[in-house]
Structure 1
Amino acid sequence: MDDSRTIEQRLDRIESQNEQIIKALAQKKKSLAAAFNLEDENKERGNWSGRFDFFLSCLGYAVGLGNVWRFPYLCYKNGGGAFFIPYVIMLFFVGLPIFFMELSLGQFSSCGPLTCWKFAPLFQGVGVGMVAVSAMVAIYYNMIIGWSLYYLFASFTSKLPWDECDPEWSTPMCLDYVAIVAGRVACHVEGWIPYDNGTCYNVNGTLKAIYDQPLAKQFDIKRNLPSEEYFERSVIGSAFSNGLGDLGPMRWRIVLCYLLAFIMVVLALSKSIKSSGKVVYFTATFPYVVLVILFIRGLLLEGYKDGIHFYITPDLSKLSDSVIWKDAAVQIFFSLSASWGGLIALASYNRFHNDCLRDAISVALGNCLTSVFAGFVIFSYLGNLSHELGVPIDEVAKSGPSLAFIVYPYAVTKLPAAPFWAIIFFLMLITLGVDSQFVLVETVTTALMDRFVKMRDYKLLTVMILCVIFFLLGLTLTTNGGIYMLEVMDTYSGGWNIMFIAICECVSICYIYGISRFLKDIETMIGVTACGFCPFFICKYWWALCWCILTPAGVLFIMIFSWVKYTDIEGEAFPDWADALGWLMTLTVIVAVIIGAFVAVCMAEGSGIEKLKNACKPSIEWGPALVKHRTLVAKYVPGFVVDPWGKGEMDMSPDDVNLQEATNSSNWHLKPRASSSRV
């Protein structure tokens, strides 16, 4: 009897060891599959070739032009290094939670932003709003890439065209034509006539010098950088437009560059998600190479210390100002491209068991560190430019296109071999822009192909037609007044509507679908251990707290504060109807959410309040795309339909069955046996 019990115990130990070995092999199989997949798990829809394709695509999507031209300016504006504190706090409380939520939603459902709302049909309009935002942003974002292409081509010369004032496009206010002199006496010495506005004119009435810059500035008299007049008069032609009501003719060179930018998108997305997944190996990594090169060169310039000191010196008193917290939240929110639908679209091509939490944390931190490092690079050159021009840094510290196409190009002209530095800088801008643009267009394409499945067989044609439509809609941006239209689109297409979408996401998942079930869905995908070391049953409480309370509260704070501080677009270039046009873009998204909810209620079964309740329940098709993964969900969701399409076990190979049993069944045995009868 003792011998049989001993044998029984030994068999149990052997079987337990074998089970652990099989689980380890299964886990190793998953890891190898994630990195070196040769076959698609979802053959109907397709998958990334490997997890690095997805990671780099997310990184390229999140790290865009705003990291280079907006974040450094916000640091300067909000107390230098003090801005890092609210920035990091908002990253963990607002940005990262939404980022992880969207990756999880897309990966679990294998659906794009238009069709992933089967878990709560009442919110299906949110997906329409996401696609609308991505479409609007794709139209004007590509114009910035077009400008970068123009500058890239113009840099292939022995002398940069904006190096000095050119009579072909410059004005008498150009830097080279107006000197800076020391006082009124110097004007008399040169034979010029000093005026009380701080300027000196010759006898012909031509401005020749400024003897008091602060005084002249009060009269709106200042010298223009050659790069400023080149951009406004030779490139985009904004100097020849009175504003949005006077667009003027299209500029054919800009039209061609705009078209070329869309051709690049078509080529990258021509075949499948795999084609863009390979392109991002270059477009997502090249900007880092350029930033490092530019940073090393910047450290060799005179005045670089002043620029970096200006960038990082903290003014902790700013932390008591609510503006710094609002700016940090907005920058985190938009730099991660959350709630645009792109993250859901990218994650929908993941394999089911990909560790999306690891990817979310890696991309979010990478995006944050990139912004900080870009600030060091930019301000090293601004310090040099301040030194060269003899003006304070705050006069050259700009944001947006002014930094990318005016200030920095002029700073480059002061370097030896200036064309080389200009070429790599604009190559960096192009690569920063195109990988974000790839995802914007892919988001709309994925949404259409999920809604109209037959379009998957015509991916190239779909992308081409979509880009042609975007190109035609964006031709107004190529006119003399196109930059004013771009500013309206940039201000309103991704403002309150994006924050409204984010709140809808949190509410629908936490309070309609159920936070407990959503967390269980995530655990089913990534396993009991997240990021390779952290037990998910511990960290899931943090995510639940963020999604249910902290994140929506943070987004609501941004919305309310932005509303209180709201002002119309200022300037004579913007007529009254400019704001009306912008609000139309914003309301398009909000109205889409409302209409989507109305349609869902009308199509739901029952009558009266029953319709509303049924519109809040997951549809029968909600869940993973493959039957083998839906069986895992059925274990913790009573009544869950494993095979609503009648596929049977067609997507489960013998290896899949073994993998599922080894990793998910606590009662799995090498062979069927009854322990009480074994001797």
Structure 2
Amino acid sequence: MRLVLPNPGLDLRIPNYEDLDRMETEEADDRPKWDNKAQYILTCVGFCIGLGNVWRFPYLCQSHGGGAFLIPYLILLVMEGMPLLLLEFAIGQRLRKGSVGVWRAISPYLTGVGVASMLVSLLIGLYYNTLIAWILWYLFNSFQDPLPWTQCPLNDNGTGFVLILSSYLYRKSKAVYVTAILPYIVLAIFLIRGLTLKGALTGLKFLFTPKVDELMNPTTWLDTGAQVFYAFGVGWGGLISFSSYNPVHNNCMQDAVILSVVTGLTSIYAATVTYTIIGFRATEKYDSCISDNIMTLLNAFELPEDSISTSNYDAAFNHLNSSSPDIILGLDVKICDLQTLLSEGVEGTDLAFIVFTEAITNMPGSPAWSVLFFIMLFCLGISTLFGNIEGVVVPLKDLNVFPKKWPNEARTGVTCAVAFVISLLFAQHSGIYWVTLFDNFAGSVPLLTIGFFEMIAVVYIYGIDRFNEDLEFMVGHKPSIFWQVTWRFISPLIILVILVFYLVTRVQEELTYLVWDPNAVSFPSLASVPYPSWIYVIIFLLAGVPSLAVPVYASCSHTFQNTTKCKIKSKHVLLIANDSSVS
């Protein structure tokens, strides 16, 4: 006996297999489609492999046990990411609609799932566009020697870029072959160069040295689960739209496995490249710190020039400190700790715009390396942004927000123009704090909530047996026991546990953000400051509204449906009464 919730009218809302084949033939000239399988796969790779794979995964890997972090990452990749990825591929290909159309076809009460995905794509796309603008500023200023950020402070800078992009043109163009493949070429170049730099192996050792105790830390698993959602792009709606342009009999099961392997390996690959550069930067700063201290000691104690070197610095310092502690206390001797330097600013925008740029300035031919690095980031960002636009424009079309006669370019242009006006928020002096706020909350709880509802919708409302038959029709065989178990039990349970623990930990901790405060004790390091009370309203709008879109939309639909039934029933009773009085 299998649990399937009542879903009247489902067979009327979805095409049968004969109609599906006929529709594919009839829509061949009207509906967009992929030129070939490679274009589709590369588009999905470009969408999934975004900026987070380069600047978020390495930080999580290092801060949650190094090599030990790969254990929960691979487990959740297989048990959580891959099943949900196939589910989105298959349901989009089967129903041939965008995120709103797919869930509305399964049940009108589930339209909120598509709306939630649209809101997440919009919110993430807002600050993603800002990140790309920052990347372009750095890219355009890389064509000079020396690089302008070799000295501080920088000249006043601003960005005024707006990109009106058409995802349809992107699908029809060859841009995907550049934006998806070029980052791998650049990463390979940086890996080869990074391994030749002093300190590269130190960085890799710091990254991959396993700390098994971290596996007992619930935060490790929470961050891993959120990263899998973020890295795979599930819950955003873009992958459902992409798969809807596939042939009916495309092997979506194979696509899901390929994309899962590529995403997982790319994250590890990017982390390896990142920490060769971070190791070089930390070693350079450590050597500079030691050299400054040696010069200070030589001058203070009037010692011969070669009496203290890097190799005997610790022994010499300990000897002088024990024999003349008062003199040492009065000197400006810096604390030189390689482990601290390796941990400095290795997350998010700090990694891309501070750590990496600083490391590049110390490399021979720094302008060329800077150009390569920011071209890679631009490709990663723009390919993900195309998917975000797809995840917004298609649902708006399904919701009939735009006139039906409008071409896709017009719909996309209007959407991007509105988003551009809203994203001017990030161009203020406080823009970096708004970007961090959006990044922390817009893509965390909402994605977990959407993923959970998607699993429940397909397994228990659409029906897992019907879904299995759909897959057999599309790929030629039913899904194996692995897919059955993960869809029915393991994946929903993992998502639910992660979501509950995430909310519990967030409620218990004080929410803070990092600021540059010259009056702080830790300056020039960032200081942690509590959020003002009014910011919790913004956090609710970012995380709460998309998460509640599903139950709120379902409740409103149910209320509206009951109200409509009551009106119809009242009119019917009134007509009967009138007929009776007439007779």
Same fold per TM (> 0.5)? yes
What secondary structure, in the 3-state scheme, does the structure 1 residue paired with 2:369 have?
helix
Unaligned runs of 5+ in 2: 1-20, 287-336, 514-528, 569-583
Amino acid at match of 1:269: S
Identity of aligned residues (%): 34
1:606–1:449 Cα change, 3 Å: closer
Match of 1:273? Answer: 171
Distance 1:50 1:577 in 2: 50
Match of 2:505? Answer: 565
Q: Does 1:53 align with 2:65?
A: no
1:60–1:99 Cα change, 3 Å: same
Task: List structure 1 segments (4+ residues) > 6 angstroms apart after TM superposition.
Answer: 605-609
- Residue-by-residue CA offset, 1:351-390 (whole Å, 9 max, x unaligned): 1111111111111110110110111111111111111110
Q: Does 1:488 align with 2:437?
A: yes
Checking the alignment, whether the CA contact within 8 Å between 1:110 and 1:349 is kept in structure 2 is yes
Amino acid at match of 1:133: V
What secondary structure, in the 3-state scheme, does the structure 2 residue paired with 1:158 have?
coil
Distance 2:379 2:60 in 1: 23
Aligned mate of 1:96, from 82, 96, 118: 82
Match of 1:147? Answer: 134
Aligned mate of 2:375, from 414, 417, 427: 427
Aligned mate of 1:86, from 61, 72, 78: 72
Q: Does 1:463 align with 2:412?
A: yes
What secondary structure, in the 3-state scheme, does the structure 1 residue paired with 2:99 have?
coil
Checking the alignment, whether the CA contact within 8 Å between 2:98 and 2:240 is kept in structure 1 is yes
Q: 1:162: Cα distance to partner?
A: 1.2
Distance 1:446 1:500 in 2: 21
With structure 1 as the length reference, what TM-score do the two structures score?
Answer: 0.67
Distance 1:270 1:560 in 2: 38
Amino acid at match of 1:306: T
- Residue-by-residue CA offset, 1:541-567 (whole Å, 9 max, x unaligned): 221211111111111111111112113
Q: 1:519: Cα distance to partner?
A: 1.1
Q: How does 1:67-82 map to 2 (within 5 A)?
A: 67-82=53-68
Q: Does 1:122 align with 2:87?
A: no
Match of 1:589? Answer: 546
Match of 2:485? Answer: 545
What secondary structure, in the 3-state scheme, does the structure 1 residue paired with 2:125 have?
helix
Q: Does 1:133 align with 2:82?
A: no
Amino acid at match of 1:380: T
Checking the alignment, whether the CA contact within 8 Å between 1:491 and 1:582 is kept in structure 2 is no
Amino acid at match of 1:111: K
Distance 2:276 2:251 in 1: 38
What secondary structure, in the 3-state scheme, does the structure 2 residue paired with 1:552 have?
helix
> How many residues get paired?
474
Match of 2:366? Answer: 418
Distance 2:542 2:208 in 1: 37
What secondary structure, in the 3-state scheme, does the structure 1 residue paired with 2:512 have?
coil
Amino acid at match of 2:149: W
Checking the alignment, whether the CA contact within 8 Å between 2:32 and 2:168 is kept in structure 1 is no
Q: How does 1:18-37 map to 2 (within 5 A)?
A: none
With structure 2 as the length reference, what TM-score do the two structures score?
Answer: 0.77
Higher helix share: 2
What secondary structure, in the 3-state scheme, does the structure 2 residue paired with 1:284 have?
helix
Amino acid at match of 1:577: W
Q: 1:393: Cα distance to partner?
A: 3.9
Bigger drift between 575-584 and 563-572 goes to 563-572
If you compute each CA radius of gyration, which structure gives the higher value, 1 or 2? Answer: 1
Distance 2:170 2:339 in 1: 47
Checking the alignment, whether the CA contact within 8 Å between 1:272 and 1:459 is kept in structure 2 is no
Q: How does 1:268-347 map to 2 (within 5 A)?
A: 268-269=166-167, 271=169, 273-275=171-173, 278-347=174-243
Bigger drift between 394-403 and 476-485 goes to 394-403
Match of 1:476? Answer: 425
Match of 2:531? Answer: 574
1:573–1:456 Cα change, 3 Å: farther
- Residue-by-residue CA offset, 1:436-493 (whole Å, 9 max, x unaligned): 0001011211223334486475111111111110000000100111111112211221
Checking the alignment, whether the CA contact within 8 Å between 2:92 and 2:244 is kept in structure 1 is yes
- Residue-by-residue CA offset, 1:636-678 (whole Å, 9 max, x unaligned): xxxxxxxxxxxxxxxxxxxxxxxxxxxxxxxxxxxxxxxxxxx
What secondary structure, in the 3-state scheme, does the structure 2 residue paired with 1:338 have?
coil
1:508–1:417 Cα change, 3 Å: same
- Residue-by-residue CA offset, 1:479-530 (whole Å, 9 max, x unaligned): 11111111221122112122111111111111112111111111111112xx
Checking the alignment, whether the CA contact within 8 Å between 1:76 and 1:311 is kept in structure 2 is yes
Checking the alignment, whether the CA contact within 8 Å between 2:147 and 2:366 is kept in structure 1 is yes
Distance 1:155 1:514 in 2: 55
Q: How does 1:375-386 map to 2 (within 5 A)?
A: 375-386=271-282
Match of 2:285? Answer: 389
What secondary structure, in the 3-state scheme, does the structure 2 residue paired with 1:357 have?
helix
Distance 1:145 1:74 in 2: 23
Q: CA RMSD in A?
A: 2.4
Distance 1:605 1:573 in 2: 46
- Residue-by-residue CA offset, 1:73-108 (whole Å, 9 max, x unaligned): 111111111111110000011111111101111111
Q: 1:114: Cα distance to partner?
A: 1.1
Checking the alignment, whether the CA contact within 8 Å between 2:45 and 2:263 is kept in structure 1 is yes
Checking the alignment, whether the CA contact within 8 Å between 2:114 and 2:237 is kept in structure 1 is yes
Distance 2:236 2:399 in 1: 18
Q: How does 1:436-447 map to 2 (within 5 A)?
A: 436-447=384-395
Q: 1:608: Cα distance to partner?
A: 9.2
What secondary structure, in the 3-state scheme, does the structure 1 residue paired with 2:52 have?
helix
Distance 1:594 1:382 in 2: 45
1:456–1:503 Cα change, 3 Å: farther
What secondary structure, in the 3-state scheme, does the structure 1 residue paired with 2:363 have?
coil
